[in-house]
Amino acid sequence: MARSTPARIATFLASHPDWQLDGTAIVRTYAHTDFVEAMGFVTRVALLAERAGHHPDIDIRWNTVVLRLSTHSEGGVTERDFDLVDAIDS
């Protein structure tokens, strides 16, 4: 799967304003009420990622979770990342 063009990434991010481009990845920060809620969210994301066969980098700091999506084999953002964002956002 080929890397997305800058125009495609910009179009996608315009319709997903909570996500932003950071280098070669798209990133979103989620704030939860506490650690348990944050971990429940991470578990739900893990199940979606496992089904998709595409796994985000996940940073957990007490109630804050940062998801970073990039297709490492392509060196940047691809449609696989967009698909996983759509699944996570729904």
Count of beta carbons in the 10 Å neighbourhood of residue 71 = 20
Q: Would 33 be classed as within a structural domain? A: yes
State the pTM of this model.
Answer: 0.93
Mean pLDDT of 3-12: 96
Report the pLDDT value the prediction gives residue 16, as an integer from 0 to 100. 97
pLDDT digits (tens, 9 = 90+) for 44-79: 999 999 999 999 999 999 999 999 999 999 999 999
Q: Would 1 be classed as within a structural domain? A: no
The first and second tokens of residue 31, run together, are 């704030």
The first and second tokens of residue 86, run together, are 């759509």
Q: Which amino acid is at 20?
A: Q
59: CATH? 3.30.1360.20
Number of domains in the chain: 1
Q: What domain range is 74 assigned to? A: 6-89
Pairing of strands 20-22, 25-31: antiparallel
Q: What is the mean pLDDT of the chain?
A: 96
Report the pLDDT value the prediction gives residue 64, as an integer from 0 to 100. 98
Long-range contacts of residues 46-52, Cβ cutoff 8 Å, at least 24 apart: 48/84, 48/87, 48/88, 49/84, 52/80, 52/83, 52/84, 52/87
Q: Would 73 be classed as within a structural domain? A: yes
Q: How far apart are CA 69 and CA 9, in angstroms?
A: 12
